[in-house]
Amino acid sequence: MVDAITRSGLLGHEVLAAVLQVRCGSLQVLLWQRARAPQAGRWALPGGRLGEHEDVEASIRRQLAVKVDVRQLAHVEQLAVFSAPDRVPGPRVLATAFLGLVPSDVDPEVPEDTAWHAVDALPPAAFDHGAIVLRARDRLRAKLSYTNVGFALAPPEFTVSALRELYSAALGYRVSATNLQRVLARRGLLEPTGDTAPPGPSGGRPAALFRFTRRDMLVTDPFAVLRPPGGRDQR
């Protein structure tokens, strides 16, 4: 129905992406700074108008590649449709928003007007884009509990300690490395590579390297919840 209305010219349709990555120990989102009115100078999610002959996922992948040079997404999923009549000034525009995840070992080269920002300390955002970022953060946090989506934040190989840092940054609280390994191993999501990481500056015993057994989305326990310290036991 929405597509039919859009094609009829009664409704504009744009696609937007909240691209998240753990960088410098925090969960960050990619934003670009608007140069023109309305709301010039505010930070916005990358995206644009839906092309006449493309579906929404093809459109957002194209626009991320062309406009902000982000091509190495480990996971993309539709987040929600934002359709408030006054979400943007002027003619009504519906937005289909996506969540995109970039692994921590990838550092996309982005244009000068584009930068990473901590999700928990967003700058003034254009329109409803701040609310979309928070919706994406909440979706990611929920899925870290009951799916294997951590694969999309992690490099191909990692230590349990490094994986703990990624989960902690994304969830917003400190995660126990022992509990995380126990939960993921019990679900069959982690396997040792047989190799070890190089020792750190202080030396010590080399840490074992692990990898995710799958690098596509899998629901592992639909009722599981990863809780902050003091909460009930994790599944």
CATH architecture for segment(s) 147-212 = Orthogonal Bundle (1.10)
| pLDDT surpasses 70 at 232 | no
Quick: pLDDT tens for 205-223.
889 999 999 999 999 987 7
Domain-by-domain residue ranges, the chain?
2-140, 147-212
Kindly report the CATH number that applies to the domain delimited by 2-140.
3.90.79.10
Question: Which pLDDT does position 5 carry in this prediction?
Answer: 42
pLDDT for position 233 = 45
Report pLDDT for 201.
67
Note the pLDDT tens digit of each residue in 91-140: 999 999 999 999 999 998 889 999 999 999 999 999 999 999 999 999 99
Q: Which residues of 49-77 are buried (b: 16+ CB within 10 A; e: fewer)?
A: ebeeeeebeebbbebbeeebebeebbbbb
pLDDT tens-place string over residues 174-187: 999 999 999 999 99
Q: What are the pLDDT digits (tens) for 43-68?
A: 999 999 998 889 999 999 999 998 88
Q: What is the pLDDT of residue 68?
A: 83
Using alpha carbons, list the distances in angstroms from residue 186 to 50, 72, 79, 144, 170: 42, 29, 29, 15, 21
| 198: phi then psi, degrees, rounded to nearest 5 | -60, 145
